[in-house]
Structure 1
Amino acid sequence: MDKQQLSKDILKLVGGEENIDQVTHCMTRLRFNLNDNKKADKETLKNTPGVMGVMENGGQFQVIIGNDVPKVYNALVGNMSKGANAGSSTASTGPKQKRNPISALFDFISGVFTPILPAITGAGMIKGIVAILVAFGWLSDKSSTYVILSAIGDGAFYFLPIILAISAAKKLGSNMYIGAALAAGIMHPTITALLAEGNSSFAGIKVVAATYSSTVIPIVIAIWIASYVEKAVDRITHSSVKLIVVPTVTLLIMVPLTLIAIGPLGSIIGNGMSGGIAWLFENASILASILIGGTMSLLIITGMHYALLPIIVGSMTTLGYDFIIPLMLAANWAQAGGAIGVGLRSKNGQTKSLAYSTGLTAFMGITEPAMYGVNMRYKKPFIAALIGGAIGGGFMGIVKVKAFVLTGLVGLPGLAAFISPSISTLIYGILGGLIAIASAAIITYILGFQENNAPQAAATSASTETATTATSVPVVAEETQATDEQVFSPITGEVRPLSDVPDPAFSEEIMGKGFAIQPAEGRVVSPINGTVFSLSKSGHAIGLVSDTGAEMLIHIGIDTVKLKGQFFSPKVQAGTKVSVGDVLMEFDREEIEKAGYTTITPVIITNMHQYTSIESAGRTTVKEQELLFTAKA
């Protein structure tokens, strides 16, 4: 993948830099806040090589990249004139798109918590490692090494309000360092000791006893209100004294206000949320676990899982454990199980490879490739994964599995989260995850699914053109032992690799293997002896099956289905017997290109599971009826 070119393509297709209010990224996605989502070319983005999918969730425009997202993000920011400021809401230059309150809330939560995940998950992993070392007797909890390592792990959580203050202030477009100073003020050891006495006051107003280390809600509310105070003071202050007046006034107002009102209110809300979740799992653990485990993937798709982040972090810092992370593990491993089930059931070598590789990725905790690339594509495996998540979650609920630390990926690397004074929690957590995998894989295998390489589907583009087939006949030969199949060129022109085709269905060999031809003439002839089994209504795609069972697709141009048959003149129909050299189609190459469409034509074998490889004839240019490639049995 050319990261620079991909980032330039994405920047253009989201509406240009002027349409970007903010851009961040998570493990697999670029997350844009666009001024106007309608200016983004969603369909073209979906078909851009290197882009796995496009979604709009929680007010964000999300471009799914996969594991290379940090590199693409860095290239994207480097291509923006605002540079490093691209991740700040102050980067906006155009009118912002109005969002409903729910979308705005999810966007705010994700914008605040996503950037801090590396800090708290890194610290969480260290806490997990320390727990493992102690559990196996490799480290004494009385040693100074234990004390230092524990402090490294606890530090990010103890000073979590400061980290959150910086992230929230950046998200709100206010000064991050004023936000950090506000959080540092309420966490100062002197104030902490004063609040612990329970009889303190400020200017005659009683200050409620509270401790703000490791809290979440109080500082987020405080920074939200502080952003309005800071901006209001900034508006009425002369530019010559802003550096002194704005931070001074903001801190003088907000630190006491947080201690007197905002902090206690936030603590009540935070403790109520954590306590409510604890009560739910103590009294209806099985039902809650089945529900959350079975719907977690749906929450991720809609972006609603961000609403759980404050609850998870709050529970972890308040109670010392969390019930939701184990259910995330069940849901993630169920997606892995769905993909594995696809691999076990599929007869297509390419599908098997994709399913197993994405299943492994989901097993590690990154589910997007398996969820979007396999399970949702075939539909039934995704349903199986939801059921598997519910079954695995139900088991987690029965044995009340808890996570005791926040780790990076909720998958194999994150199993340290389940280490406790008793190793049984880890064992139960692993067992629950394996139950989710096995359930999803078995259900997928039983339900089955429609393979992409079925001959009927092969005659059309994978994403948009299935419904355009006008006529087809069931003339595909019974699957027998394949023999080598020589494929002769159907068009005169330049031979190109499939990777040059600007459509992932072909460039990533999802539909099948072969070569593409850049036509020099507007005529297509039969490349094999066999039968036409499908002809699209728009004339741009022809499906063939040879007398020896090779199933083929000739796809004239990309997105040419949109021409609705204009400039195409079919010479055969479904069911026509053909020999090498028989004319199948004539098309007006120049007019198609004038209309803005490329005429590059993939010529592919779609039932590659019957063949071992494609052997090129070695030509860079080819004429009609010259050998193009051989499908080796």
Structure 2
Amino acid sequence: MKYEQLAKDIIENVGGKENIRKVVHCITRLRFHLKDEGKANTDVLKEMDGVVTVMKSGGQYQVVIGNHVPDVYKAVLAVAGLQAQAPVEEDGPKEKKSLLNGFIDIVSSIFMPVLGVLAAAGMIKGFNALFIALGWLEEASGTYQILNAVGDALFHFFPIFLGYTAMTKFGGNKFIGMAIGAALVYPSLSTLTAGDPLYTLFTGTMFESPIHITFLGIPVILMSYASSVIPIILATYFAAKIERGFKKITPDVVKLFVVPFATLLVIVPVTFIVIGPIATWAGQILGQVTVGAYNLSPILAGALLGGLWQVFVIFGLHWGIVPIAINNLMTLGADPILAMIFAPSFAQIGAVLAVWMKTKQQKLKALSIPAFISGIFGVTEPAIYGVTLPLKKPFIMSCIAAAVAGAIIGITNTQGYLLGGLGIFAIPSFIHPTEGLTLGFWGAIIAMVVAFILGFVLTYLFGMGKGKKTEEVEKTVVATTANHKNAVTKVNNEVIGSPFNGQVIPLANIKDAAFASGALGAGVAIVPSEGKLFSPVSGTVTALFPTKHAIGIVADNGAEMLIHIGLDTVQLEGKHFTAHIAQGDRVEKGQLLIEFDIEQIKAAGFDVTTPVIVTNHERYTLVPTAEKQIKSGLNLLELKAK
């Protein structure tokens, strides 16, 4: 249980296991469905080691972890006791979702479980096509045929897989969903279209359909449902409702087999007669509309979608676009959307590389390396949330680079011909199934290179050193280095004075898990009665946040202090705080450092309880004062060097 403690902290700060309806994960995120998001401590989670950031989208509370999310997910299940349980039932009113959030939640729930194996199958097909294009394999060879079967089987029988995931989402019997999907791709039905039709429906329209068979005298429009998407989703939606209806009226003693029997007997014929044809036509129209809009201006479409794709990912809106791309592949055999979203990951890693080269902040450098590696393979969340988005301008530069690359994709009319892997593994997806390495393929390669180089150059030249966050990080590091290049390597005994007048309480009792757990350091907390912070030691100010709510001091004897005025007060953005010193200043014990308006801070809804901690506490034995009320300057902590 390498991640057991992290799992416990996450569960505690999403409101406890009793607040979890269910939890799933994707490539980098834990996706919680919470009963009450208001119980989650978002700010604590964002600052937690092992958590990149927190997002709220599509009715989900998303805790971004990184590439090791599967291991953290297992630990969360084990700690919460959910490993062998169905999703926790709702015991209160259902959360109200907007139409968009509801749609994104449905789509992500249906496609996410199968997306990994879908991408794997696409990669196999893509590499098989590459081997043919390079002349390494012949189509008649057994090697090609077996690889093609491995890659193509999932796509051909896709309705069966979606039948399982869609029925899971809609709350029905998963195997009923699979049975509906299997019926749609049943091989014998495809042979019934041979020969002359009995008659034709909708003659002279775009819906003209020859009728070869009937069901109880009702005409059945036979269509190919292999690789289809929309028909099975609609069929399972109605099947789940029909199943619930039969459950209510069927005696328990025969419910096990009568309910599936009755459900299949109703939904499968209805799907072939009504749902399937309508859904197929809708999918074809959607595909034509998408391609038509793209053809109006491929360059503009590529620039807009390429430039905005990373923004869509942040807000979870990409799940509204992915199904359109999959539908286009299944109905039209090609799709421009997959091509236009190919380059952003390379623009992102170009920006990350520039950050890595220019920053002096070691933690940022350490974050940049795994983020860069992940981005090569198309997993950009660590890069976005850990590096470029917090610095703001590098993220903007990467979006600009991705927009230029998207325009190149549009100019060369690059299309995706299968749903392959992410990042560099997506390259074979652009090989034309019959023409091989076309201009569109080379357009994708050029766009990839341009996105990477432009993302790097723009960030290196314009994306660093200007943004507020970048200046804050760099200034802190430069000041710390300048003032402490000959820093104390040996610590001595130290007496820490109280920085406030007020009430002393144990650190573990404050309402902030990060401080209360001791993860940030050891010490005590004070509820100040006066809005003045005095220096607890003689030393140097190594960090003063621009919001003036927190200060770091290194004492002459080596103790490293952090004083954080109030909880979550960073949100005040400096209001009600006045600093009398600057970062890098020499201060003496008892010197007035910061003044703050307690009443205004409380009126804004913030707790003024202040942690006073020693961050290098492992080098000391700490003895806190026994006093409950204390005056500034009196002994608060005794530090005995180990």
How high is the TM-score relative to the length of structure 1?
Answer: 0.79
Match of 2:267 in 1: 254
Give the CA deviation at 1:268: 0.7
Listed as ranges, the gaps of 5+ residues in structure 2 are: 196-210, 497-511, 528-533, 595-606, 624-636
1:151 partner amino acid: A
In the alignment, structure 1 residue 36 sits paired with structure 2 residue 36? yes
Amino acid at match of 2:397: A
CA contact (8 A) 1:106 1:306 kept: yes
Give deviations 1:66-112, integer Å, cap 9, x for gaps.
111111112222233443344x4x74444321212221111000000
Judged with a 3 Å threshold, the aligned counterparts in structure 2 of structure 1 residues 564 and 14 are, in CA distance, closer, same or farther, namely: closer
Does the alignment pair 1:325 with 2:338? yes
2:401 maps to 388
Check 1:84–1:534 CA distance in 2 against 1; reply closer, same or farther (3 A cut): closer
Distance 1:562 1:104 in 2: 34
Structure-to-structure mapping, 1:224-243, within 5 angstroms: 224-243=237-256
Among residues 392, 406, 411, which one is paired with 2:423 in the alignment? 411
Q: Measure how far apart 1:595 and its partner are.
A: 9.1
Q: Residue 126 in 1 paired to residue 152 in 2?
A: no
Describe the shift of the 1:149–1:324 C-alpha distance in structure 2 as closer, same or farther (beyond 3 A).
same
Alpha carbons 2:361, 2:473 under 8 Å: kept: no
What's the CA shift for 1:35? 2.5
The alignment partner of 1:325 has SS state of helix
Shift of 1:233: 0.8
Q: Is the 8 A contact 2:227 2:330 kept in 1?
A: yes
C-alpha displacement of 1:366: 0.9
Which secondary structure does the structure 2 equivalent of 1:55 belong to?
strand
Q: Deviations over 1:8-30 (max 9, x none)?
A: 22223222333323321110011
Which residue number corresponds to residue 541 of structure 1? 551
Map 1:596-607 to 2 at 5 A: 599-602=612-615
Amino acid at match of 2:290: I
Which has the larger displacement, 102-111 or 125-134? 125-134
Counterpart in the other structure of 1:611: none
Task: Please give the secondary structure, in 2, of the residue aligned with 1:115.
Answer: helix
Cα 1:125/1:577, change in 2 over 3 Å: closer
In the TM superposition, 1:461-610 aligns within 5 A as: 483-486=485-488, 491-492=494-495, 516=521, 518=523, 525-526=536-537, 528=539, 541-542=551-552, 554-556=561-563, 560=567, 573-574=580-581, 582-584=589-591, 599-602=612-615
Instruction: State the distance in 1 between where 2:170 and 2:358 align.
Output: 49
CA distance in 1, matches of 2:180, 2:269: 10
Conserved? CA contact 2:495–2:639, under 8 Å: no
CA distance in 2, matches of 1:521, 1:489: 25
1:192 to 163, 168, 190: 190
Q: Within 5 Å, which residues of 2 pair with 1:306-455?
A: 306-408=319-421, 410-420=422-432, 421-424=435-438, 425-447=440-462, 448=464, 449-450=466-467, 452=469, 454=471
Counterparts of 1:144-155 in structure 2, within 5 Å, are 144-155=142-153
Q: 1:573 to 1:322 in 2, by over 3 A?
A: same
Q: Against the structure 1 CA distance between its residues 127 and 275, is the aligned structure 2 distance closer, same or farther, given a 3 Å change threshold?
A: same
Contact 2:348–2:375 (8 Å) recurs in 1: yes
User: C-alpha separation between the residues in 2 aligned to 1:418 and 1:245?
Assistant: 48
1:486 and 1:393, CA in 2 relative to 1: closer, same or farther beyond 3 A? Answer: same
Task: Give the aligned length.
Answer: 569
SS at match of 1:62: strand
Name the SS of the counterpart of 1:114 in structure 2.
helix
What is the alpha-carbon distance in structure 2 between the residues aligned to residue 535 and residue 93 of structure 1?
43
Give deviations 1:418-453, integer Å, cap 9, x for gaps: 233422444321220121122222222232334757
TM-score by length of 2: 0.78
Q: Tell me the amino acid that sits aligned with residue 311 of structure 1.
A: I
Q: Are the counterparts in 2 of residues 330 and 433 from structure 1 also a CA contact under 8 Å? A: yes
Bigger shift: residues 555-564 or 69-78: 555-564
Shift of 1:553: 7.6
Asked if 1 retains the 8 angstrom alpha-carbon contact of 2:549 and 2:564, the reply is no
Distance of 2:295 and 2:451 partners within structure 1: 22
Secondary structure of the 2:113 match is coil
Aligned-partner residue type, residue 300 of structure 2 = L
Are 1:208 and 1:260, in contact at CA under 8 Å, matched by a contact in 2? Answer: yes
Contact 1:222–1:258 under 8 Å retained in 2? yes
Instruction: Identify the range of structure 1 (417-426 vs 5-14) with the bigger mean alpha-carbon deviation.
Output: 417-426
- What amino acid does structure 2 have at the position aligned with 1:316? L
SS at 1:485 equivalent: coil
Identity of aligned residues (%): 32
1:498 maps to what in 2?
A: none
Amino acid paired to 2:428: A
Q: CA deviation at 1:142?
A: 0.8
Residue 454 to residue 429, structure 1, CA distance change in 2 (3 Å): closer
Whole-angstrom CA distance in 1 between matches of 2:295 and 2:541: 66
Counterpart amino acid of residue 73 in structure 2: Y
Q: CA RMSD in A?
A: 4.1
In the other structure, the counterpart of 1:609 is none
User: Structure 1 519/189 Cα, relative in aligned 2: closer, same or farther at 3 Å?
Assistant: closer
Q: Measured at CA, do residues 296 and 398 of structure 1 come closer, stay the same or move farther in structure 2, by a change above 3 Å?
A: same
Change (3 A) 1:490 1:354: farther
- Alpha-carbon separation, structure 1, partners of 2:302 and 2:20: 39
Aligned residue type for 1:442: V
What one-letter code is carried by the residue in structure 2 that aligns with 1:428? Answer: G
Q: How does 1:26-175 map to 2 (within 5 A)?
A: 26-86=26-86, 88=87, 91-175=89-173
2:507 is matched with none
Deviation sequence 1:14-64 (CA, Å, 0-9, x none): 223333233211100111222322232222222222111111111111111
Distance 2:298 2:545 in 1: 56
Structure 1: distance between partners of 2:543 and 2:61: 41
Range 72-81 or range 430-439, more displaced: 72-81
- 1:291 is displaced (CA, Å) by 0.9
Q: 1:107 to 1:484 in 2, by over 3 A?
A: same
The one-letter code matched in structure 1 to 2:37 is N
Which residue, out of 209, 213, 232, partners 1:219? 232
| 8 Å contact kept, 1:526–1:579 | no
Quick one: distance in 1 between partners of 2:10 and 2:480? Answer: 44
- Judged with a 3 Å threshold, the aligned counterparts in structure 2 of structure 1 residues 307 and 490 are, in CA distance, closer, same or farther, namely farther
Higher mean C-alpha displacement, 40-49 vs 295-304: 40-49
What letter matches 2:74 in structure 1? N
- Deviation of 1:275 after TM superposition, in Å, equals 2.0
Whether the 8 Å CA contact 1:326–1:396 is kept in 2: the answer is yes
Choose from 285, 292, 296 the match for 2:305. 292
1:150 positional shift: 0.5
Query: CA, structure 1 residues 455+384, in 2 after alignment: closer, same or farther (shift >3 Å)?
Result: closer
Please, which of 280, 289, 296 is the counterpart of residue 267 of structure 1? 280
